[in-house]
Amino acid sequence: MIVFDIISITLLAVLLFWTLYNGSIIYAGIRNKRKQMSMSTDNKSTELPKISIIVPTKNEETVIRRCLDGILNIDYPKDKMQIIVVDGKSDDNTCKICSEFSEKYPENIKVICEKTAKGKPAALNLALPYINGEIVGVFDADSLPEKEVLSKVASYFTDKKIMALQGRTTSLNEKSNALTRVIAMEEKAWFQALLSGREKLHLFVPLTGSCQFVRRSVVEELGGWDENSLTEDVEFALRLVEKKHLVKYAPDVCSGQETPSSLGSLVRQRVRWYRGYMETAIKYGSLLNTLNKRTVDAEISMAGPFMMVVSLLSYINWFFVALFLSQSNPIINFTGLVIALTAVSLVSVGIALTASEKPIKLRNVLWIPSIYFYWVIQMFIAGWAFLKLVFRRKRVWTKTVKNGSMGSDDAVKNGLFS
């Protein structure tokens, strides 16, 4: 009995701290959302920097044509833009399609076809010797950037203190099915609340793998991306923090991308993400040797998947106590209260985000309760990733399958893309 009390109190204390900590960041982010979105980046420098964009691909024939057309359609001087496509030994027509683009736009597009696929970070590193831009950008093969994205990036980098920039990504296929709708809500919460709040409070801003930009000098300083990491983007961001480089979140630098449209695709994606986060959190625990709000927040942020595991254990513990010890263990009431608090917090974020978008649509409000059930699924995925880490299962860099879907309305009708 005492053992269950101690376990319950410990789990609940950790979850309560996590909820309150992130709740304060989310609150700051939602309050700051309108201000950030209205920020002007029109102070363009007369001398625009050359920007090199890396697009890693593997079996992307359904989306790569759209991606390259979208990048070429960006409103930026073509002599200031370089596109490097690195294909990871695709067994479809991806390399052929990319080569056709390279032949048509030889001044702008270079295609590198790997003989052996080693994952996204290796593909990014393979492009480094060919880069001639001052700024290095990364777009996934399913990306559809807005037309003004590079001019806005150039404007941000006029601030010499900024070493890296993370833009905002949105779902191109949000309305495909129930799952894509909920994941799109999660993405909005991540960018419009958590990252916005971290930017407002000058905390740790992680890179997310696409629509991200780094000064070439910094990429060279850090020696490129870690090829052994399952989450090379956030690992790179932590090295930036370690070197005291400033990473900024730019909500007006926007690109669309596909959301996983099946549960199997989501599970494969998130198992890799969560295990990668866990491994990276352990690897960079030494950040706490230098205490400041960015390093502390970075470690707390990286603990996210661990908190999902703690939440899962709390649910299991609550269920066990409720089933076998409910008559003699009063801790069950407090446990149920915190579980309810988690549900209320998740739904509150959904309501706040929905209310901040004008006009408010009733059908969007009706999807908000599903956020809680999605959270439960995420807990089990994080638990599986944790077990794979503990038992040292083979590490595999799995790509998320994309099918070229853009939902029923496209992103164009939402005013994001031209």
DSSP state, residue 257 = E
d(CA 113, CA 192): 36
At residue 229, does pLDDT exceed 70?
yes
How far, in Å, CA of 72 to CA of 66, rounded? 10
| CB contact set of 145 (below 8 Å; sequence gap of 6+) | 70, 71, 74, 139, 211, 254, 255, 256
Residues 184-200 have a mean pLDDT of 91
The answer, yes or no, to whether residue 215 has pLDDT greater than 90, is yes
Per-residue confidence band for 370, with pLDDT thresholds at 50, 70 and 90: confident
Task: Give me the percent of the chain exceeding a pLDDT of 70.
Answer: 81
Q: Is a pLDDT exceeding 50 seen at residue 243?
A: yes
Mean pLDDT of 275-304: 92
Asked if the model's pLDDT at residue 410 lies above 50, the reply is no
Q: 248: which strand partners?
A: 165
What is the residue type of 296?
A: V
Higher-pLDDT residue of 177, 412: 177
Most confident of 15-29, 44-58, 378-392: 378-392
Q: Which candidate, 190, 172, 194, 198, places its Cα nearest to that of 70?
A: 172
CA-closest candidate to residue 236, choices 256, 257, 218: 218
Name the more confident of 393 and 366: 393
Residue pair 213/135 in contact by the 8 Å Cβ criterion: yes
* H helix count then E strand count, the chain: 15, 8
Helices (H), 223-327: 232-242, 263-283, 293-302, 304-324
Q: Residue 356's pLDDT is what?
A: 59
Q: Where are the alpha helices (DSSP H) in 38-93?
A: 64-72
Of the ranges 62-71, 213-222, 315-324, 332-341, which one carries the lowest mean pLDDT score?
332-341
Q: Looking at the predicted structure, is the pLDDT value of residue 390 above 50? A: yes
Q: What is the Cα–Cα distance from 367 to 6, expressed in whole angstroms?
A: 37
Model pLDDT, residue 117: 82
* Residue 371 φ/ψ region, left for φ over 0, alpha for ψ in the -120 to 50 degree band, beta for the rest: alpha
Is residue 3 predicted with pLDDT exceeding 80?
no
Q: How confident is the model at residue 414 (pLDDT cuts 50, 70, 90)?
A: very low
Instruction: Supply the pLDDT for residue 34.
Output: 61
Cα 269 to Cα 264: distance, rounded to the nearest angstrom: 9
pLDDT of residue 373: 86
Binning pLDDT at 50, 70 and 90, where does residue 26 land?
confident
Residues 74, 81: Cα–Cα separation, whole Å: 10
- In the chain, what is the greatest distance between 2 CA atoms, to the nearest angstrom? 75
Q: What is the pLDDT of residue 412?
A: 44
CA dist., res. 319 & res. 104, Å (int): 62
Structural domains of the chain, ranges and CATH numbers in brackets: 2-27+302-390 (no CATH), 49-297 (3.90.550.10)
Would you place residue 415 in the very low, low, confident or very high pLDDT band (cuts 50, 70, 90)? very low
The residue with tokens 């780094």 is: 214
Radius of gyration of the chain (CA): 22
Q: What is the pLDDT of residue 167?
A: 97
How far is it, in rounded angstroms, from Cα 232 to Cα 238?
10
Mean pLDDT of 268-277: 96
pLDDT 10s digits, 145-176: 999 999 999 999 999 999 999 999 999 999 89
Residue 208: which of 236, 184, 245, 189 has the closest Cα?
236
Q: Would you place residue 44 in the very low, low, confident or very high pLDDT band (cuts 50, 70, 90)?
A: low
Quote the mean pLDDT of the chain.
86
Nearest to 254 by CA among 214, 219, 210, 209: 210
How many other CB atoms sit within 10 Å of the CB of residue 179?
18
Three-class SS state of 113 = strand
Q: What is the pLDDT of residues 46-93, one digit of tens each?
A: 689 999 999 999 999 999 999 999 999 999 999 999 999 999 989 899
Distance CA(42)–CA(215), nearest Å, equals 20
User: What is the DSSP secondary-structure string of 28-50?
Assistant: HHHHHHHHHHT-------SSPPP
Q: Tell me, what's the pLDDT at 357?
A: 62
- Which of these, 46, 86, 54, lies nearest to 71 by C-alpha position? 54
Cα angle value 60/379/399 (rounded, 5°): 15
Between CA 65 and CA 70, with CA 67 as vertex, the angle to 5 degrees is 105
